[in-house]
């Protein structure tokens, strides 16, 4: 078993660490609530809003969500309506293009929110703010906006994308890295060290670590042994791999596979 496909250094999920600009957007979103018509008036006091309650969520009332932007289909409908008014009124500039299709895939939540905010500002400038009113059901909302960079395959990118090939460690470096990891395994794996141990380093560039696990091993914090969870708990693996790479540096791993010990 292995979780290699999820563990590429260019596609692991980072910690939420907004920049100064993103903090400014966050500050506005933290006070966002649409009016009864669904629109957030410009400059009005704004609070957290709640998305429509899905039937499978039992404690939805206890959570708060942030409005980011309309869902793509609604956003596109608003854009087309704004373009129509633009043509009718002879408005000299076009509204910001919506982040839909590839734009949706290759943008994080802060970028989506910023683009929608620019659309609202444009509509307000030309007196057609009414067109941007959004019903609660049409909002894309989250409890914590994503701020990570987007990789070339549309996934989150923890490290900057690099085109230069990684260096090949020599055999002595690889042997030393494994020895250091075996000696410091409890430090890297915590409680999971009772059920696992590093076995070997493989791959053409020696960037894949194979870890053996006991058949009685409990599930790890990040989901299970061959895939990452869909929620925030998957970040536990990022912590784990960071701890491993800190011990084995300059040898570092893009992939960590888990195999059941026989």
pLDDT digits (tens, 9 = 90+) for 53-108: 433 333 334 446 789 999 999 999 999 999 999 999 999 999 999 999 988 988 98
Confidence of residue 154 (pLDDT cuts 50, 70, 90): low
Among 231, 227, 230, 234, CA closest to 257: 227
CATH level 2 (architecture), domain 4-12+164-260: 2-Layer Sandwich (3.30)
CA distances from 69 to 49, 126, 174 (A): 13, 20, 48
CA dihedral 249, 180, 187, 147 (to 10 degrees): 20
- pLDDT band of residue 153 (cuts 50, 70, 90) is low
* Res 11: pLDDT: 34
List, by residue range, all CATH 3.30.300 domains of the chain.
4-12+164-260
Q: What is the mean pLDDT of the chain?
A: 77
Query: How far apart, in whole angstroms, are the C-alpha atoms of residue 140 and residue 112?
Result: 10
Q: Is the pLDDT of residue 200 over 80?
A: yes
- The DSSP code sequence of 206-259 is S-EEEEEE-TTPPPPTTEETTEE-SSGGGHHHHHHHHHHHHHHTTS--SEEEEE
Residue, of 152 and 16, whose pLDDT is higher = 152
Which residues have C-beta within 8 Å of that of residue 97, sequence separation ≥ 6?
79, 103
**pLDDT score recorded for residue 126:** 94
């Amino acid at each position: 078993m292995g979780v290699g496909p999820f563990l590429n250094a260019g596609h692991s999920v980072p910690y939420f660490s907004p920049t100064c600009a993103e903090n400014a957007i966050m500050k506005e979103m933290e006070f966002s609530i649409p009016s009864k018509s669904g629109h957030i008036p410009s400059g009005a006091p704004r609070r957290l809003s709640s998305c429509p309650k899905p039937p499978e969520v039992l404690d939805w009332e206890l959570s708060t969500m942030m409005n980011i932007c309309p869902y793509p289909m609604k956003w596109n409908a608003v854009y087309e309506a704004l373009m129509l008014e633009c043509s009718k009124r002879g408005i000299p500039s076009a509204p910001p293009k919506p982040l839909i299709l590839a734009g949706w895939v290759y943008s994080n939540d802060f970028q989506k929110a910023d683009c929608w905010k620019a659309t609202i500002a444009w509509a307000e400038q030309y007196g057609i703010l009414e067109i941007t009113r959004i019903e609660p059901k049409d909002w894309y909302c989250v409890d914590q906006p994503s701020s990570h960079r987007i990789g070339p395959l549309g996934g989150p990118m923890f490290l900057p994308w690099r085109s230069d090939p990684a260096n090949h460690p020599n055999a002595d470096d690889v042997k030393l890295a494994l020895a250091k990891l075996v000696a410091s395994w409890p430090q890297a794996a915590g409680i999971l060290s009772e059920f696992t141990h590093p076995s070997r380093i493989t791959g053409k560039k020696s960037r894949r670590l194979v870890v053996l696990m006991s058949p009685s091993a409990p599930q790890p914090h990040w989901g299970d042994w061959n895939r990452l969870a869909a929620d925030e708990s998957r970040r536990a693996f990022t912590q784990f791999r960071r701890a491993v790479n800190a011990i084995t540096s300059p040898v570092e791993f893009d992939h960590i596979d888990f195999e059941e010990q026989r």
